Structures are given as C-alpha cells and as structure tokens.
C-alpha cells in the first residue's frame, strides 16, 4: 500500500468548532481564513468562501457541491504557470 493511500480524510479538530459556529450563521459572505491546505472539504462548507494561504498571499474561492471530498490546497496554486514569449518573426522579402 502506498503512503498516500494510508492517509485518511481528516478535518482539523482545532478549527471544527469555528466551522460549526460559522455554518449555523446565515451570513456566508464572511470568508474563512486558513493556512491548512490539507483540510478536506466537508458538506457543511458548501456555499462558504475560503481564503487559503498560498505561501505569500491568500487565494479566495467559494465552495461548490462538486468540491466536496477534495482538499483546500487543490484550489490554491503555489506555483506560477510558465508563460513563454513568442519568437518575433524577422521581416523577410516576399
């Protein structure tokens, strides 16, 4: 069995009371700020906005039903995408 299969879904026990109190509140516009990228998205998080730490800044996203069961870090990229510049075409005679 590989190591990744041994890791079970978990939720931070320190943050669960905070998440439980937030899920009871009718206002879901206030973002939940966290640095825990390995936290699994639970069904009670649907509709809430999260600010997930990306190493330098926080990334904002809203949880949808399709995201349940994935980790918060999957939606906050830590690396910049590579963008290569196009080569300029030299002027040729036609």
What is the pLDDT at residue 11? Answer: 65
What is the pLDDT at residue 24? Answer: 62
- Give a yes or no: residue 42 inside a domain: yes
- Give a yes or no: residue 71 inside a domain: yes
Q: Which residues contact 60 (CB under 8 A, 6 or more apart)?
A: 31, 49, 50, 51
CA distance 89 to 39: 49
What is the pLDDT at residue 42? Answer: 83
Residue 59 belongs to domain with CATH number: 3.30.860.10
- Give a yes or no: residue 47 inside a domain: yes
Closest CA to 41 of 9, 14, 15, 17: 9
What is the pLDDT at residue 92? Answer: 64
What is the span of the domain harbouring residue 63?
29-78
Q: How many domains does the chain have?
A: 1
Task: Spell out the per-residue pLDDT of the chain, length 94, in tens.
Answer: 566 666 666 666 666 666 666 666 655 567 888 888 888 888 888 888 889 998 889 999 999 999 988 888 888 888 888 888 887 777 666 5
CA angle 70, 37, 64 (to 5 degrees): 40
């Amino acid at each position: 069995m590989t190591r990744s299969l041994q890791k079970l879904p978990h939720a931070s026990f320190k943050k669960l009371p905070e998440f439980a109190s937030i899920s009871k509140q009718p206002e879901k516009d206030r973002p939940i700020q966290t640095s825990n990228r390995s936290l699994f998205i639970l069904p009670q998080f649907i509709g809430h906005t999260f600010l997930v730490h990306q190493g330098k800044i926080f990334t904002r996203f809203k949880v949808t039903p399709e995201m349940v069961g994935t980790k918060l870090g999957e939606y906050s990229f830590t690396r910049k995408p590579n963008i290569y510049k196009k080569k300029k075409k030299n002027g040729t005679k036609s």
